[in-house]
Each structure stands twice: as structure tokens, then as C-alpha cells.
Amino acid sequence: MMAAGALVLLDQASKAWAARHLRFTGEPYTAIAGFLNFDYAENNGVAFSQLQNGGDPGRWALSGLALIAALAVLYFFWRTARSDDRILGACALLLAGILGNLTDRIRLGFVIDFIDVQFGGWHYPTFNVADSCICIGACLLLLDLFLNRKKKGKAETADNEQTAADN
């Protein structure tokens, strides 16, 4: 949980930096030419700027969904064995990302995005630290699901071989 708190602080500090240094310049700050820029954007919708036209009711509906998601992640966190570092880490990342963007949405009415990545002609949608936490946490959960399914399949094969050997 301390990691989630630290990540929320990092997210909020980076968004404050973006608001102070990028909002009124009109020009992106190039960190790595042709790859990484910092460019201020306000996202009223959800991931990749979808559902932008919800207005105030949409803002509160998305905030309510985020709050429910945060509570679900907390519940899952508390029910996970303390020895399961991958799931606990994924939960901390998900919680940090959800709370970081929820804080913006409640406080500002939109989420601040500013990280702009591109590879040649390919341009990824602008995102923030909280979005990164959500994506990495979700990938860790998918990885765990895949690894557990693979481990379960091997265990069932070993059990079937043992049963066959016993007969």
C-alpha cells in the first residue's frame, strides 16, 4: 500500500509539473527527438480520450466507476496471500493509477495527460504516470493468469501420469 501511495504522489507531482511548465507554451517539450515529448493535454473521457462528451454527468459517472474499481482492487489486495508478490504489486499499481486519475477527475473535472511517445510515423495516445501504472498492473495480472494456467496444466498432467502409473 505504501508503494501505491508513493506512485499516486509521483503521478500528482508529474501532472503539477506538466500543468505549470507545459500548459501555456503551446509547444511540446522534446525529451528524446523522434521518440519522447511532453505535451499538456486535458482528457475529459476515459482511456485514449474515449467518451469525451459526457459533460458533468459523465465526469461523475466515470468518478463513480473509478471509485468502485478502486474498492474492488482493495478487496482483491486484502484477500491475496502476502507471499504473492506479483499479484500484490499488480494491485498496488492498479490502485495507484485509479486513484491518481480519480483525483484529477474529482479535483479538476478532467485528467491531465502529458507523456507523448512516437516511433517514426506511429504516434501513441498521450498518457500520464497513472495510466502507465494501470497498464503495467493489468499486464502483470494477465501474466499471472497465464503462468497459473500453465502451472495448473502441468500439475494436472503430472497427476494424470501418476494415476496411470498407479493403475
Contacts of 103 (CB under 8 A, 6+ apart): 8, 12
Q: Which three cell numbers stand for residue 38?
A: 511532453
Let me know: does 128 contact 113? Beta carbons within 8 Å. yes
Q: Is 104 a catalytic residue?
A: no
Alpha helices in the chain (DSSP H): 2-21, 55-79, 85-108, 129-166
Let me know: does 56 contact 140? Beta carbons within 8 Å. no
Contacts of 148 (CB under 8 A, 6+ apart): none
Q: Which three cell numbers stand for residue 114?
A: 502529458
Among the options 11, 104, 116, 131, which is catalytic? Answer: 131
Among the options 11, 104, 113, 116, which is catalytic? Answer: 113
Q: Is 144 a catalytic residue?
A: no
d(C-alpha 97, C-alpha 49), whole Å:
16
Helix (H, G, I), strand (E, B) or coil at 53: helix
Give the active site residues: 113, 131
